Structure 1
């Protein structure tokens, strides 16, 4: 059956009749576009980072106003295999950096930059088997780097985390 235009009394314009599905193809298009099950892995990771960071912001919001947070796929920094220990500005699991705190600086054009906390998605995902473990790694990375930024110990940033 094709769509037909009919006229309503009172001059309200054309109304389309019900559409039938003679070929049995069903509905077309996205039925539930904004549900979590339709998020990509990257979007799910970004949401998890924001969830963990929101808890830190609740405690230290006024002191973290100038700190930006970002997610990068992989570490984009010079790495030397001979380095036995990373600086405090890098949260790492052994030789693999999981996040980094980039201090205030000047970009290539000479404009000032804000401090930035960067979480590296692939190394953190590789160490996580489920959502709970991912959250634990993110709590470790974010608390460690925020503690460095605030010049406090990580257990003050996230006292509920098991730091042993």
Structure 2
């Protein structure tokens, strides 16, 4: 679905019907119903922001929430980070995401992703992407962090700051 959404060659109607076919295995929906349904799904499950009220699980406990991103800069890309997300889920939860496809809901997936422990590769990469050179630490440490930041950057042209 994310590949379809990111496809620059498809128009919005094509994206709508293709995504609904992928998600619901339905191609027979009337146009207006399909568009309304797609807008609802995209708004509530794909383009979600942090909810104002915390969501509760079955026992009434608050569900994990999205960590605040510095400067609202994108820190994860589902396509580029797929292998790191997969490895992190295996490490933290012993979940094989390939086997859980079509069984794990989007909300469950996002809750688990947002609650990944700090020692997982995905959380380490997020920390690297969010790192800012404030002059603290040794030159060797800062040089290493800049190299890692460039390696795991989501922007091809992300500027490297030499710290001076």
TM-score by length of 2: 0.23
Q: Larger strand proportion, structure 1 or 2? A: 1
Where is the helix percentage greater, Structure 1 or Structure 2?
2
Q: TM-score, normalised by structure 1?
A: 0.23
